[in-house]
C-alpha cells in the first residue's frame, strides 16, 4: 500500500472519530496532558506515513561509531595533556639555572679541590711551599679529642654527636733575626683532612688561641710556637685511624701531605 493512501485513510479515521462523537451522549473529559499526548501520537502517525518525511531510527552501528569517535577524542586529549605535563617537568628552571649559592663555607670546602696540589713528605716546610716568608711551618703530630683543649682556660671546642675532634699540631718557627708580628689571616689558609676512606672534612676556623688559620701574635726571633688545625671526623674513623691526608692551600699555593 502506498504512503499516500495510508495518510488519507488515517486522516479519514481521525475525522470519523471526531464526527462519531456526536452519537455519544457525553464525551469523556481529558486533561490537558492527555490531549497533548493524543495530538502528538496523531502527528507522529501522519509524519511517519507522509511521502515527504524520511522517518527512520538510528542504527546500532551508527551509535557504536559515534561512541567510538567520542572515546578516541577523549583519549587523544588525555594523551596530549600527559605529554605537555612531562615536558614541563623535564624543562630546566631558567630562573635558577645560573644562580650560585653565596655560601662561604661551601667555597672553603671546595678551595683545595679546585687547586692542583703537589704531594710532599710529612716533614716538608709548609710555609716555604706556600711562599710564606720568615716562617717555618712543619707538621708535628695529631690527637683525637671529645673537647679541645682538655684544660679549659678560655674558648674550647667540642665535637658534635657521633663525631670526634682531630687536632693536627704544627711547629711554627720565626726563622729571622728579628721579632715578627704574624697575622695568618693575611695568608687566607684553608685545609681539608681525609681520614681512611671517608669523605674529606674541612679544617675549622675557630676562636682557639692556637688556631693557625686565624692566629695573630708576635713571634720572637728564633722562637717556635705550637699551632693547630681542628677538624671533625666520625667516631668509627677516629677509633681506628689507618691513614691521614692533609691538603692545605694559602697565599695562592697549595700542598698535600700524607700524615699517616
Ranges in the chain annotated CATH 2.60.40: 107-258
Its pTM surpasses 0.85: no
Quick one: DSSP state of residue 211? B
pLDDT the model gives residue 127: 94
Task: Choose among 40, 56, 42: nearest CA to 7.
Answer: 42
Q: Check: CB of residue 227 under 8 Å from CB of residue 189.
A: no
pLDDT of 52 strictly over 90: no
**Mean pLDDT of the residues in the chain:** 76
H or E segment and range at residue 139: strand 135-145
pLDDT digits (tens, 9 = 90+) for 89-142: 555 454 443 434 344 444 444 444 444 456 778 889 999 999 999 999 999 999
CA 147 from chain centre, in angstroms, equals: 36
Q: For the domain covering 107-258, report its CATH number.
A: 2.60.40
Q: Distance between CA atoms of 93 and 97, rounded to whole angstroms?
A: 6
Amino acid at each position: 500500500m502506498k504512503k499516500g493512501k495510508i495518510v488519507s485513510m488515517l486522516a479519514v479515521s481521525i475525522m470519523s472519530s471526531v464526527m462519531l462523537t456526536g452519537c455519544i451522549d457525553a464525551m469523556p473529559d481529558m486533561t490537558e496532558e492527555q490531549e497533548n499526548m493524543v495530538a502528538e501520537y496523531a502527528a507522529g502517525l501522519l509524519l511517519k506515513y507522509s511521502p515527504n518525511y524520511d522517518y527512520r531510527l538510528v542504527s546500532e552501528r551508527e551509535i557504536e561509531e559515534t561512541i567510538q569517535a567520542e572515546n578516541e577524542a577523549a583519549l587523544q586529549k588525555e594523551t596530549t595533556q600527559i605529554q605537555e605535563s612531562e615536558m614541563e617537568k623535564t624543562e630546566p628552571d631558567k630562573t635558577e639555572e645560573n644562580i650560585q649559592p653565596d655560601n662561604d663555607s661551601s667555597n672553603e670546602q671546595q678551595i683545595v679541590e679546585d687547586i692542583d696540589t703537589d704531594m710532599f713528605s710529612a716533614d716538608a716546610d709548609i710555609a716555604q711551599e706556600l711562599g710564606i716568608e720568615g716562617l717555618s711551618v712543619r707538621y708535628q703530630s695529631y690527637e683525637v679529642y671529645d673537647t679541645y683543649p682538655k684544660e679549659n682556660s678560655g674558648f674550647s671546642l667540642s665535637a658534635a654527636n657521633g663525631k670526634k675532634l682531630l687536632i693536627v699540631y704544627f711547629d711554627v718557627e720565626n726563622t729571622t733575626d728579628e721579632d715578627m708580628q704574624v697575622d695568618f689571616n693575611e695568608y687566607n689558609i684553608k685545609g681539608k683532612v681525609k681520614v681512611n676512606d671517608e669523605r674529606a672534612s674541612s679544617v675549622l676556623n675557630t676562636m682557639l688561641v692556637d688556631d693557625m688559620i686565624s692566629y695573630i701574635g708576635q713571634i720572637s726571633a728564633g722562637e717556635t710556637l705550637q699551632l693547630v688545625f681542628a677538624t671533625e671526623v666520625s667516631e668509627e674513623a677516629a677509633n681506628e685511624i689507618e691513614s691521614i691526608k692533609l691538603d692545605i692551600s694559602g697565599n695562592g699555593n697549595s700542598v698535600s701531605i700524607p700524615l699517616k
